[in-house]
Amino acid sequence: MLHASKKSLLEYLATRTIMYFATIFSGITLTYLLVKAMPVDAVENIIFGLTQTVAGVYDPQSINKLREDLYEIFGLTGKSPLEDYLIFIRRVFTFNFGPSFISFPTPAFELVLRRLPWTIGLLSVSTAITWITGNLLGTIAGYFRTRKFTKVLESIAISLYPVPYYIMALILMLLFAFLIPIFPLGGGISVIPESLNLELILNIIWHSLLPALSLILPGALGWSFLSSRTLTLEVLSEDYTRYAEFRGLPGKHVLRRYVLRNILVPQVTVLALSLGGIFSGALLTEVIFAYPGVGSLAYRAAFAGDINTLMAVLILSMVAVSTAIYLLDLLYPLVDPRIRYR
């Protein structure tokens, strides 16, 4: 029996791993198809815009090199479509997106890699807080569905849920930075660090508070709260929960062992499906608070028409988000007491 379940777990891991790579691969293919569908003179347009804005920075030779790079990325080399596609795939898997335009000789890939820890740090902490508080609040609200505070929480959730993260960021900015000026308005740190010490870490956390709050509020009181409340109501109407109540088990026990335990699994799925949206939202929050993450980089790149850097941001973000979802998938066997993985 033990042996059998071990084997099925391995099978589960194998399918998930295959799915993980398949998703990344199809994401890259999707990007290729979209870029390929762009008008033909797009490349010339980009190069023209570039020579207009920073004239004299590039010598003709590097512009020619750039043109070749872009033609390869856009699949315009004049070879067969399959070859174009293979060239694109090879570039992606060797992380070769060409030089960035915004800080010219530096490869776009390196530029993104430097910013990625900031974004991942902000996102992982705020998403974890969102998920935990949202689930707890939602479960409690579902359990005490007739209380007054539940109604208040529900009205707040309904008005927060549809509001995008960046609008929340702007509202928080209006409130905290302007009317009650206690938080720093932007940036990741206020001093250039010489070495990593406690003061620096506190400084980073202090600067991340407002961006994190603008991600947590609409999440914890929005999607996470609403979906866990709905799930709680469903679990409460199940026979096994009724039975537990009829047996006279204390409410706390029912809540923890019967309700919370059973909503965790679908809530992991909800989280996995929301990650892409959260990531997109975080990009804008970063721009608004001038937080030095991938979003701010994408903003500068979009402003300068730096397509290489944008491509690097897109592909790396895809990899980051699918990796996060993959890791969440691996959590399933830990949180789910019911399913024996086939």
Which residues are at the interface with other proteins (CB under 8 A)? 22-23, 26-27, 30-31, 34-35, 38-39, 42, 45-46, 158-159, 161-164, 166-167, 170-171, 173-174, 177-178, 273, 275-277, 279-281, 283-284, 287-288, 298-299, 301-303, 305, 307, 310-311, 313-314, 317-318, 321-322, 325
Beta carbon nearer to other proteins, 12 or 176: 176
Q: Shortest gap between Cβ of 250 and other proteins (angstroms)?
A: 33
The DSSP secondary structure of 214-262, one letter per residue, reads HHHHHIIIIIHHHHHHHHHHHHHTSHHHHHHHHTT--HHHIIIIIIIHH
Beta carbon nearer to other proteins, 153 or 318: 318
Q: Shortest gap between Cβ of 331 and other proteins (angstroms)?
A: 17
Beta carbon nearer to other proteins, 123 or 254: 123
Residue 134 CB burial class (10 angstroms; 0-12, 13-18, ≥19): buried
Beta carbon nearer to other proteins, 244 or 311: 311
How many other β-carbons are positioned within 10 Å of the β-carbon of residue 131?
A: 21
Contact (CB, 8 A) for 307 and 46: yes
CA separation for the pair 249, 237 (Å, rounded): 16
Q: Shortest gap between Cβ of 194 and other proteins (angstroms)?
A: 30
Eight-state DSSP code of residue 340: P
Beta carbon nearer to other proteins, 115 or 258: 115
Q: Shortest gap between Cβ of 277 and other proteins (angstroms)?
A: 8
Q: Shortest gap between Cβ of 63 and other proteins (angstroms)?
A: 18
Indicate the residue type of 124: S
Query: Terminal CA-to-CA distance of the chain, rounded, Å?
Result: 13
Beta carbon nearer to other proteins, 39 or 81: 39
CA separation for the pair 181, 200 (Å, rounded): 21
Q: Shortest gap between Cβ of 279 and other proteins (angstroms)?
A: 5
